[in-house]
A = this chain, B = another copy of it.
């Protein structure tokens, strides 16, 4: 599987845009920003190869994680593996919590899709039971005046 294609094809920005589903304008923007730097022909035209598709996947995944462009560059381009490992270790719990929230959300959506509450707020009671602690208001009484 994944046999190396003959002749290492390369694509123009428009071709790569069509192939990847990312608008050409965005690809150019990412190139300018150093997020996904295209190869260049002598005339300055951009060319994309298989290596770019791999990096593109990483970028899309990082975006799904809610990373900013700066963070994506950090995790993809930091030459020091230890720094990257530290960043990954920091990010992991955030991702796990996000998964937990989304799972609760999926439950809520399934409920709303089937039961059609008279008003959405009435779901609040059981949502409160399921959300992880740090995804909801503290409920400690504020110091009253």
Whether A140 is near chain B, meaning CB under 8 Å from some CB there, is yes
Contact A20:B82 (CB < 8 A) given known A92-B113, A128-B57 = no
Whether A110 is near chain B, meaning CB under 8 Å from some CB there, is yes
> How many copies of this chain does one complex carry?
2
Bound Cα distance from A138 to B101, whole angstroms: 29
Is the CB–CB distance between A11 and B106 below 8 Å? no
Contact A138:B105 (CB < 8 A) given known A82-B116, A92-B113, A112-B84 = no
Is the CB–CB distance between B121 and A92 below 8 Å? no
Whether A76 is near chain B, meaning CB under 8 Å from some CB there, is yes
Q: Which residues of B are found within 8 Å of A61, using beta-carbon distances?
A: 101, 104-105, 108, 127, 131, 135
User: Which of B2, B102, B138 is the one whose CB lies under 8 Å from A64?
Assistant: B102
Is the CB–CB distance between B53 and A19 below 8 Å? no
Query: Which residues 81-113 of A sit at the B interface, judged by CB distance below 8 A?
Result: 81-82, 84-85, 88-89, 91-92, 95-96, 98-99, 101-106, 108-110, 112-113
Q: Which residues of B are found within 8 Å of A128, using beta-carbon distances?
A: 2, 54, 57
